[in-house]
Structure formats: C-alpha cells, structure tokens
Structure 1
Amino acid sequence: MKIKFVFLSLVLAIGLTSLLAACEKEGPAEKAGQQIDQAVDEVKEEAAQIKESGEDTLNK
C-alpha cells in the first residue's frame, strides 16, 4: 500500500512539473500574437502622428 502511494506521488509530481515547464515556453501562436500587438501599437502611433499633423495643417 505504501509503495503504491509513493509511486502515485512520484508520478503526480513529475506530471505537474512537466506541465509547469510546458507553460513557460512560448508557442508559435503566442509569438504571432505578440507580433500582431506590436504592429497594432505602431499603427496607432503613426495614426496619432498623422492626426496631429493634419490638425496642425488645418489650424494654419
């Protein structure tokens, strides 16, 4: 009985450790999502600059 408990505990510990290690790695979807977020931020910044430039031109 004690051997089964030790074996089960060991299997669970290894399994949980594997799951935690897998969560740290970024997959292709996460990398693509980060690239999309960065591109959207850049477009927002450029749009704000264009807006300011247009407002300056209209106010002259």
Structure 2
Amino acid sequence: MNKLLIALGLAATVALVGCAKEKAPETGATTGEHLENAAAQAAHDAKDATHEAATATATAVDNAAQATENAAHNVATATENAADATVQAAKDATAATAGAVEQGAANVKEKAQQ
C-alpha cells in the first residue's frame, strides 16, 4: 500500500512539474524594461491622483467660499430687518406715548372745564 501511495505521489509530482514548465508568453522586454515601464505607470498614476486631489480641493474651497458669502449675506439681511423692526417699534412707541399724553391732556382740560 505504501508503494502505491509513493507511486501516486511521484506521478502527481511529475504531472505538476510538467504543467509548471509551460512558458509564459514572451513580450520581448527585459526585466529592466519591465521595471522601467512599471515605474513610468506608477508615476503616471501618481500624477493622475494628485490632479484629482487638487481638483477636489479646489472644488471644496469654492464651495466653502460660496457658503461663507451666503452666510454673510443672510446675516446682513437679518441685521437690516432687525434694524427696520427696531425703527418701526420706536415709531409705534412714540405714537402711543404721544397719544397717551394727548388723551391725558384732554382729560385734564375736560375736568378743568367742569
């Protein structure tokens, strides 16, 4: 039984070694050329990634600037509205005070005439 297992193991080994001896397709390039091509591709990929990051950063800065401008405009509008409301409240208070003074004077005059 051991001899059969050894024979099967040897047959499997020979089959695997035979399969492993298939030649890879020849590109005609040396190892150095492959390395140079890989380095050039890596440099190109890094350049693309840097450009994409710069574009994304510029877009984010533009969006932040626009949001800041919108917020400043909203604050200015709210401040203007608050100032208008304050002026109107002051006018209303002055009119109410003047009305009360006139009514008080009219009451005094009426009592004086009686």
Scaled by the length of structure 2, the TM-score of the pair is 0.34
Paired letter, 1:7: T
Distance 1:21 1:39 in 2: 27
Pairs aligned (count) = 55
Deviation at 1:35, TM superposition (A): 5.8
For structure 1, the 5+ residue unaligned runs are none
Greater C-alpha Rg: 2
2:63 to 15, 21, 27: 15
Cα RMSD of the aligned pairs, angstroms, is 2.8
Distance 2:99 2:72 in 1: 40
Distance 1:14 1:36 in 2: 33
Paired letter, 1:9: T
Identity over aligned pairs, percent: 4
Deviation at 1:49, TM superposition (A): 1.3
Aligned ranges for residues 20-59 of structure 1 at < 5 Å? 20-25=68-73, 26=76, 30=77, 31=80, 33=81, 36-57=84-105, 58=107
Distance 1:19 1:35 in 2: 24
